[in-house]
């Protein structure tokens, strides 16, 4: 795969990961708010229980926002190839690493790309576009290269054979 392909896959994966965290937000926060309302309307319920559900609902909201926004920002930046996308990807990968096993796998893949092929991809956009471009492959004379490789293989003498010590 070319660096552009890796960048696109990682960007999409970060968007999906942020979407799953947003889905968690949409499921858990109303759940806790519903229980807070039910317990608040029950006269026999302990007084601090509705406060506990309110605090838990707020905590899940904060965690979902904390873990949901950076992947979406990083995914958008990577897909649009923004200059800040590498930093956003690193921050998002660090937060994703806390969610074993899928978040950790996304973290490892993101780090592998950003610290190997992504170095050149985000350092010099024109160099990364050249490196993975098929434009240069189409202008390259493959037949001449193939012929020179064939000549090189036949021009070389065979390797020296060691003496047979068995006889």
Query: 3-class DSSP state for residue 141?
Result: coil
pLDDT tens-digit readout, 70-99? 999 999 999 998 889 999 999 999 999 988
Distance (Å, whole) CA 68 – CA 18? 4
* Sequence spans of domains, the chain: 3-148
* pLDDT per position as a tens digit, 29-80: 788 778 777 887 888 878 788 778 778 888 888 888 888 899 999 999 999 9
- What pLDDT score does 14 carry? 97
- Please indicate, yes or no, whether the overall pTM of this predicted structure exceeds 0.85: no
Interacting residues of 128 by C-beta distance below 8 A, sequence separation 6+: 3, 4, 120, 121, 122
Indicate the average pLDDT of the chain. Answer: 82
Which residues are within 8 A (CB) of 53 and not within 5 positions of it... i.e. 6 or more apart?
32, 33, 35, 36, 39
């Amino acid at each position: 795969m070319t660096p552009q392909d890796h960048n696109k896959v990682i960007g999409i994966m970060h968007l999906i990961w942020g979407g799953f965290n947003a889905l968690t937000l949409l499921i858990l926060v109303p759940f806790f708010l519903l229980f807070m309302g039910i317990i608040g309307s029950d006269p026999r319920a302990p007084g601090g229980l509705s406060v506990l559900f309110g605090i838990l609902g707020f905590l899940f909201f904060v965690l979902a926002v904390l873990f949901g926004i950076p992947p979406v920002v990083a995914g958008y930046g990577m897909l649009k190839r923004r200059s800040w996308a590498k930093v956003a990807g690193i921050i998002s990968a660090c937060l994703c690493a806390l969610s074993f096993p899928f978040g950790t796998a996304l973290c490892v893949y993101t780090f592998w790309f950003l610290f190997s092929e992504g170095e050149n991809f985000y350092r010099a956009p024109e160099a990364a576009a050249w490196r993975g471009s098929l434009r240069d492959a189409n202008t390259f004379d493959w037949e001449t290269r193939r012929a020179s490789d064939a000549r090189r293989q036949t021009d070389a003498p065979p390797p020296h054979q060691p003496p047979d010590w068995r006889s």
